[in-house]
Amino acid sequence: MDTPISASEDTAAAEDGRGREWLLGIAMPVLAWLPRAVTASVLILALYLWGLHWPAAAALFLLAVGISRSVLETHDPLPGRAVRPEDEPELAELVRDVAERLGFREPLLVRIVPVVQASLGRTRVSGVRTHVLLLGLPLLRRLTEAQLASVIAHELAHEKHLGERRHRLLRFGHAVLAERLEGRFRPLAPLAAPLLRAGRPRLWAQETAADADAARIAGTEATAEALRRAGLLHAVFEAFSERWVAALAEEDSWPVDLYDAFGTAVSDPYVARRAARAAAEEDAVDPYAAADHPPLDRRVTALPAHSGTPYGDAPLALRTGAAVTAWCDRQLAGLDWQPEPEPGDELDRVRILDLPADRLRELGFDARLALLHATDRDSSTEAVAQALDALADGSWPRLARRLEPALRWAPAAVRPAFARSVLAGALSTPFAEVLCTTGWTYTSRWLGSVVTAPDGERVVDLHELIGEALISGDPAPVLALWTSAEPKEWAV
């Protein structure tokens, strides 16, 4: 028979849990700063021993300032564009209503940012501690009112679930330490991974608790769809919109219909499927337990049941939408950070939706040239044939390393998945290009790897097909498609 747990034992266990969180919250940033602190200490000691006392004191001061800036609140300009209630009364009322239903009583500013983001931060306004809610324009344009309410509720709920200092310290320490593991050299990894793994259950519990509050406010269905849509929007925005802006900037141009084009791309079922697959693969690869959010399927499954929502099922209209969109366009293009251009130096205004489909598919990245260079071949047909030979005989990891040298420094646990992604991305587009010389046609104006067979019935996503072959180790479906197409060779 089990012995009942007494109240004193419960209290002791809770105290142990709090003490563990404090220790983890302190150990993580200390470990993150350890290499720099050791290097700086050696430098300061050497300067002091050489009699250079003033340089040593200056170096010590700079070290202290650097650590202080990392720990304390900074006073950098607030990101985003301010939302004034008189300009956007519907959005202001939505935020106010969600806050009241959550019991959120703190001063709150709302600002719109150009990217897919939703976060709650702190600042000081006239000496008063104030919270700042950042909402990305893609979320405002693509989520329904109910889904947006869920996103807002999730962020505001964090204030309740991160109310204690040890929780904030733990999240801060986790973020700082995880950032140190993103570079090529990761000497902290053997020590960092156990700490990150130990702190992850608490961080994940905070996220699922905020999700539960969001479901209570906006309904389970709206919250689940908001989680799915936010992940999709983030993946597509990174894959397309940021690439468009960067590619056009190299041509002294900038897009004036970025968010309209983004919305059209998101609506493409092949783009949505590719983005969902990429997000799931990213969730599955976490060698150092650095993810502070649970995987999407786990978050959706954990939602409590709350039927109905008091909010609408259409996106919230922004009264200043045109001005906000123009401001975000310029922010992404970096135009608001540049001096006024001289006459004749203005960037060309480009409408992405007016670009030809072939130009749109290759904008920002030419996978064909990458494969030609890696295989040292003069035509796409020859390059694809050699890549498929490597796929058939199992030597494709060497080709992937030629395509992406950074694979050599990727963590061993994620290197195979990274290599598969690299090869599938580089091979699928020129493969499709060759197929389209034999009667196949492009299916999507956004993706260069989705093609339709000459009979008009079969649609193949070559990126997905190649990826599945790499995972299963069975290249037969890919090789059979290549053989049946009988591609024609041409010179570059």
Kindly report the backbone phi and psi dihedral angles of residue 239, in degrees, each rounded to the nearest multiple of 5, phi listed first. Answer: -75, -30
Q: Hey, what amino acid is at 444?
A: S
**CB–CB of 449/428 below 8 Å?**
yes
d(CA 114, CA 137): 5
Partnered with residue 121 across adjacent β-strands are: 132
Biggest distance spanned by C-alpha atoms of the chain:
87
Which of helix, strand or coil describes residue 384? helix
Please name which of 375, 324, 376 lies closest in space to residue 112, comparing C-alpha atoms.
324
Residues in the chain: 492
Tens of pLDDT along the chain (492 residues) come to 444 444 343 343 444 557 777 787 777 777 777 776 666 666 666 655 666 555 656 655 565 555 555 555 445 578 899 999 999 999 999 999 999 999 999 999 999 999 999 999 888 887 788 899 999 999 999 999 999 999 999 999 988 777 667 778 888 888 888 888 877 777 778 888 888 888 888 899 999 999 999 999 999 999 999 999 999 999 999 989 988 988 888 888 888 899 999 999 999 999 999 988 888 887 778 888 888 889 999 999 999 999 888 999 999 999 999 999 999 988 888 776 555 544 444 678 889 999 998 888 888 666 678 898 999 998 889 999 999 999 999 999 999 999 998 888 888 888 899 999 999 999 999 999 999 999 999 999 999 999 999 988 899 999 999 999 999 999 999 999 998 876 544 433
- Which pair of tokens denotes residue 2? 């089990």
CB atoms within 10 A of CB 223: 30
Kindly report the backbone phi and psi dihedral angles of residue 484, in degrees, each rounded to the nearest multiple of 5, phi listed first. Answer: -70, -25
Tracing tokens 């196949």 back to the chain, one arrives at 440
**CB–CB of 236/266 below 8 Å?**
yes
